[in-house]
Structure 1
Amino acid sequence: MLSSNTLGHPAIHARRKRRLIRKTLGAALGLCMVVAALTTWLATRTHIVDLGNGHQLSDSGLLQDWADGAVIVMIRHAERCDSAPGPCLDDPTGITVAGSQAASRVGQGLQRLGLDNADMLSSPKLRTRQTAHFILGQAVASEDWLEGCDSQFAREAMARKRPGHNLVLVTHNGCIDHFARQQKVVGGERESGYASALFVSVDGNGKARILGRLNEPDWQRVLSSIAK
């Protein structure tokens, strides 16, 4: 005669199997929800394209937006003298000789784009004023907010963008980072190299959209693709 324990084994096994299936389905559903949430989050992030790539430069719409006077470009100062092995331009709180040459190349690129219809401002720090001088070939007006690099930076920049006029801002990595954060740029793409330029399009409603970044070494290579 079979004991009651022996008779109960199939039922216990079935219950355990059902619990295991429920747990497995629950874990799979949870994983799907996490993946869906992550996918949604990533879809809302902004990625900065490399405008040194000719196709991306063309696809970005930068040239037309610039011609329309609808662009803010934020340029990080050139190589700092106090954190580089190369010779200083003069003052140790300013930029290096190599940095001044890089700034001049950026200036040539901006001249090719056209600066007749552009406003230009610089942070009051010496390294930014020197960079702006070598970009434009003359002294540039400076404003304190361009070195503040706080959460108000984006608002200040947008407030100074005149309709139909491009705005060139020579500033700091931290300030550009704050702007990029507000545009939901992913963390690994917010770092700006020396003399790199972040181009932003501003539409008629005052809404900003990042077009991409052009690093200083790429200016000369892409000049030929920019029509005079």
Structure 2
Amino acid sequence: MLSSDTLTPLVMPTRRTWQRLPRITLALGLALLLTAASALLWASTRTTIVNLGNERHLNASGLLQQWAEGAVIVMIRHAERCDSAPGPCLDDATGITVAGSQAASRVGEGLQHLGLAGADLLSSPKLRTRQTAHFIVGDTVTSEDWLEGCNAHFTEQALAHKRSGHNLVLITHDGCVDHFQRSLSVAPGQRDSAYASALFVSVDGNGKARILGRMNEPDWQRVLATRQR
């Protein structure tokens, strides 16, 4: 039998302890509410990339009207790289694959449907971007170094090259498109650009940019077929 000396005395909560419990609970509740509010505020400042391959999203984006007004910049990542794909190369190993050239041609058909009259077209000087540009427009496109640099000034350089009333088509790299999206507060998980994907951005009269959405290469044919019915 245990003696009374070996028993641990039961400590009853004092009145002061009972008074402190609601305060702790309240503090925890307020902390959770502040955390949730901060998360919602952060989310509300992020730019969401809309999938323009969805007909409803395309119509709601305003892209067609903005394009008709010459108020759009479209940034197109080069087509599939030869040095990182199993398919046959178009020719040079630093360029794109045969499949990439076909994908670029399909993107070009989509842009031609939107209308390229009066548009300014520029390409990075890298072979893979120049080849992509050639298959998109069927001709040689002027190359500029800043479309290869992909540095923190890419957004301001892109906006500086946008002429009023003229759409601007830029064939560039994933890193450049990423910099542009960063500057417009796109969340990291939405900044990935597939080969030959096109990011559409509207630019208002004050030079303020707004992302309209992204069109991935496989979606062009389906969207065009739907709109031509």
Q: TM-score range by the shorter chain?
A: over 0.9
- 1:147 paired with 2:152, answer no
Q: Which residue number in structure 2 is paired with residue 114 of structure 1?
A: 115
SS at 2:159 equivalent: helix
Q: Which residue number in structure 2 is paired with residue 65 of structure 1?
A: 66
Q: Which residue number in structure 2 is paired with residue 195 of structure 1?
A: 196
Matches within 5 A, 1:205-216: 205-216=206-217
Q: Name the amino acid aligned to 1:122.
A: S
| TM superposition shift of 1:14 | 2.0
Q: Name the amino acid aligned to 1:19.
A: R
SS at 1:52 equivalent: coil
SS at 1:134 equivalent: helix
Q: Which runs of 5+ in 2 are unaligned?
A: 1-9
| TM superposition shift of 1:15 | 1.1
CA distance in 2, matches of 1:12, 1:36: 35
Sequence identity, in percent? 68
CA distance in 1, matches of 2:98, 2:92: 11
Note if contact 1:75-1:198 (Cα within 8 Å) is conserved in structure 2: yes
| TM superposition shift of 1:18 | 1.5
CA distance in 1, matches of 2:226, 2:122: 27
Q: Name the amino acid aligned to 1:141.
A: T
Q: Which residue number in structure 1 is paired with residue 181 of structure 2?
A: 180
| TM superposition shift of 1:10 | 11
Q: Which residue number in structure 2 is paired with residue 127 of structure 1?
A: 128
Q: TM-score, normalised by structure 2?
A: 0.93
CA distance in 1, matches of 2:167, 2:73: 6
SS at 1:216 equivalent: coil
SS at 2:143 equivalent: coil
SS at 1:213 equivalent: strand
Q: CA RMSD in A?
A: 1.4
Q: Which runs of 5+ in 1 are unaligned?
A: 1-8
SS at 2:27 equivalent: helix
Deviation string 1:151-182 (CA, Å, 9 cap, x unpaired) is 10000000000000000000000000000000
Q: Name the amino acid aligned to 1:120.
A: L
Q: Name the amino acid aligned to 2:85.
A: A
CA distance in 2, matches of 1:47, 1:146: 24
- 1:32 paired with 2:33, answer yes
Identify, as 1 or 2, the structure richer in helix.
1
Deviation string 1:24-46 (CA, Å, 9 cap, x unpaired) is 11011011011111101100100
Q: TM-score, normalised by structure 1?
A: 0.93
Change (3 A) 1:126 1:224: same
Q: Which residue number in structure 1 is paired with residue 82 of structure 2?
A: 81
SS at 2:18 equivalent: helix
